[in-house]
Amino acid sequence: MTIVQLEYFLAAAAYGSLTTAAEHCFVTSSALSMQITGLENDLGVILLDRSKKPIVLTEVGEEFIGQAKEAIAAFYKTKEQVNNIKGKLSGRLRIGVIPTISPYLMPGFITRFIKKCPDIKVRIYDMYTADLVEAIALDKIDIAILSGGQSEVKIKETDLFDDKLYVYVSPKNKLYGRKEVLIEDIEVEKLLILSEGNCLRNQTLELCMARKDIDPQFDFVRSSLESLMLTVDQISGTTVIPGMAIKSIPENKRDRIIPFGRVNAKRKITVAIAPTFVKEAMIKIVKETIIEVAKEDFVLSEFLIPV
């Protein structure tokens, strides 16, 4: 029984498909299947029911999967300790990021991270919060970067910084030109918001004291903040944007960004770590790099860095 066999088994169990699992493990389907078969032969049991679509765990597989995760975690913890002694960080890193953070954080993160860890292979996934939580549980990703407190399933998150929220208004809107906007000034029925699944949608509605079941005139399914802002530019509308997005907005449109008055409008940026990911040195570098980007790249945002 080898670590590779255990990792391939967990991947197949997580994705329910040998083909998909092989893609994420960067091997062929036949190579992955052969390793899992070898594991089953070594143990003398069948772990996966390949007759089902998607593939499911057998009863023995259900009992074994927890032990497999513990064995992998123990192996990488030992490997990390050896690498720390040698002063070397290597391997892979899978990061999941919500869409309202990814385009603003990850470019600066990647350029800094690869300088610190040139031997790490990084794969980045844009995912909604619910998908991130599921991916963490199924060992599909190692680290999730998200907006804290928005998951319906309780997960362990570490606070990194607070990102202020702002109102983005159309030049045709009556709020245009103000130095600040009060919550009661916003016409919620004309507020452009992202679709269900986006944390920023819930935060916007909570901030504006609106019902979560509001039926907006425009519902941007699987869209982006950029789409919302471009639409706001053309109509007499408003939307809410995070401070980290401001740097990507052209200078000639910065006058459309207005802070909230009489309320500390913000969202908390956090990280969550998969239980089986025990590379403490790499986790530390990821957190430090995120905070570096926050301090050096973002404008008009206030950051609360925990001790």
- The pairing of strands 193-194 and 219-220 is parallel
Q: What is the CATH number of domain 163-267?
A: 3.40.190.10
Using alpha carbons, select from 222, 248, 220, 226 the residue that is nearest to residue 104: 248
Q: What is the reported pLDDT for 305?
A: 43
Structure tokens at 289: 């790099």
Structure tokens at 133: 């939580």
HSE (CB half, 13 Å, CA atoms) of 198? 21
- Answer positive or negative: Cα dihedral of 280, 283, 288, 289: positive
285 touches 117 (CB < 8 A): yes
Q: What is the reported pLDDT for 306?
A: 41
Q: What is the reported pLDDT for 303?
A: 45
Low-confidence ranges of the chain (pLDDT < 70): 79-90, 149-154, 195-203, 205-223, 299-307
- pTM of the model as a whole: 0.67
Give start-end residues of each CATH 1.10.10.10 domain in the chain.
1-87
46 touches 31 (CB < 8 A): no
Chain centre distance of CA 268? 13
Q: What is the reported pLDDT for 90?
A: 65
Give start-end residues of each CATH 3.40.190.10 domain in the chain.
163-267
CB-count exposure of residue 113 (10 Å: 0-12, 13-18, 19+): buried
Q: Which fold has domain 1-87?
A: Arc Repressor Mutant, subunit A (1.10.10)
DSSP state of 190: G
- The pairing of strands 193-194 and 157-169 is unpaired
192-247: per-residue pLDDT in tens?
A: 877 665 666 666 766 665 544 555 555 555 567 888 888 888 888 888 888 999 88
Q: State the DSSP string of 94-127.
A: EEEE-TTTHHHHHHHHHHHHHHH-TTEEEEEEE-
